[in-house]
Chain A
Amino acid sequence: MNKKSGSTKAKSIWQQHWLALSLLGISLLLMILGLLSGEYKSVLEKAMTICLDCIGIG
């Protein structure tokens, strides 16, 4: 009984939010792929140095 109501609830949540949940899945996939290709390090390197463009001394 509980299992049935649980699956009905999950179904209704999926029907209501399928787009957001799909985007959420895609976002996690993108982040994992980005992390695996070393993008965290690239972002870190950029963030660790003073961005002269940002402060107006480009």
Chain B
Amino acid sequence: MTREKKRRFFQVGAALAFNAYLPAFFRAGIFQGKIKGLCLPSLNCYSCPSAIGACPIGSLQAGLASFRLHLEAGQRQFGLYVLGFLTLVGSLVGRLPCGWLCPFGLFQELIHQKKWVKFKLPRLLTHFRYLMLLLLVILLPLIIVDEFGLGQTWFCKWVCPAGTFEAGLPLIILNKSLRSQIGFLFSWKLAILGLFILFMLFINRPFCRTTCPLGAIWGLFNRASLFQLLVNEESCLRCLKCQQVCPVEIDPATNPKSADCIRCLRCVDACQYGALSYSFLFWPKKQFKPVISPTTDS
């Protein structure tokens, strides 16, 4: 099995595992088991009927939104559990879950497989996700509060297309009482989802690259995480094949620690000279045998 097939297997497996409680679809409600307090290593909406865990970005926002309320009630809750989880995954593997586990990432890749005209994403737009993280995930839920000291989950409410796709649409279809409450907000979120689906046809993973706050957080860890993409500069002939196959349009040979890299490892397979490999702490550097020897080929 090629690594790309293995990756697809992991993506589908993770999507099924993170949303394993299928009976919820027949009850028009959501899974309410006690394990749901565990954060999932991907942007998987906890309001998806079958979701068995919590979305770390939703939980982070909910924690920040109720920060003042908790303090006023004498509860010392600072969102340390979610912050710890985000740091744990980030320091272990960086953005690897984006490439191997995220169900919404899989959805974007499947849409992008259609043979349409492909466009490159302007690099400037990739910085937009930090604005989303800072403004909608951290600052606004923390600052703008009602008379009870309770904020809103701004990113979930106004932007997250994963929530609309994984939770909004299934619940609206399944639940009659929710259907009667549809208003402007649902139309807005549906429009955002539609816009991203349109972009997915032409650009690979537009949401991950421009908007996803979870990718923004874990991308910051790419430089320091235990899992690392490695380049052997002596073997690299600058053929740019790695750059051509990269779904996020970076140059892995010159910038293997890029915050945009989702560690899909397509570049490692594309390199015929064995210049790219990866390592994970005790797992020794995996040296790939070159398909073509750099010395004989050049």
- B-binding residues in A (CB < 8 A): 13, 17, 19-21, 23-24, 26-35, 37-44, 46-48, 50-51, 53-58
- Say whether, besides A27-B87, A51-B153, A54-B168, A43 and B224 are in contact (CB < 8 Å): no
Tell whether, in the assembled complex, residue B153 and residue A43 are in contact, meaning their CB atoms are under 8 Å apart: no
Tell whether, in the assembled complex, residue B80 and residue A33 are in contact, meaning their CB atoms are under 8 Å apart: yes
Q: Contact check: which of B59, B84, B87, B178 meets A57 at CB < 8 Å?
A: B178
- The 0/1 profile, CB within 8 Å of A marked 1, for residues 77-92 of chain B is 1111111111110111
B90's closest neighbor in chain A, by CB?
A: A23
Tell whether, in the assembled complex, residue B54 and residue A55 are in contact, meaning their CB atoms are under 8 Å apart: no
A37, B73: Cα distance in complex, Å: 13
- Residues of chain B in range 121-166 having any CB-CB distance to chain A below 8 Å: 152-153, 156-157, 160, 163-164
* Nearest 10 Cβ contacts at the A-B interface: A34-B81, A30-B84, A44-B37, A31-B84, A34-B80, A27-B87, A23-B91, A56-B186, A55-B168, A27-B88
A9's closest neighbor in chain B, by CB?
A: B282
- A-binding residues in B (CB < 8 A): 29-30, 32, 34, 36-37, 39, 45-47, 51, 53-55, 58-59, 62-63, 66, 70, 75-88, 90-92, 152-153, 156-157, 160, 163-164, 167-168, 171-172, 178, 181-183, 185-186, 188-190, 221, 224-226, 281-282
Tell whether, in the assembled complex, residue A30 and residue B75 are in contact, meaning their CB atoms are under 8 Å apart: no
- Say whether, besides A51-B58, A56-B185, A31 and B88 are in contact (CB < 8 Å): yes
Tell whether, in the assembled complex, residue B59 and residue A53 are in contact, meaning their CB atoms are under 8 Å apart: no
A26, B172: Cα distance in complex, Å: 41
Instruction: List, in ascending order, chain A residues with CB within 8 A of B185's CB.
Output: 56-58
A42, B78: Cα distance in complex, Å: 11
- CB proximity of B208 to chain A, nearest CB, Å: 19
Tell whether, in the assembled complex, residue B37 and residue A55 are in contact, meaning their CB atoms are under 8 Å apart: no
Q: What are some 27 contacts across the A-B interface (CB < 8 A)? A: A17-B281, A23-B87, A26-B87, A27-B91, A31-B80, A33-B84, A34-B83, A34-B84, A37-B75, A37-B80, A38-B75, A40-B37, A42-B63, A42-B77, A43-B37, A47-B36, A48-B32, A50-B178, A51-B47, A51-B167, A54-B58, A54-B167, A56-B157, A56-B163, A56-B189, A57-B181, A57-B185
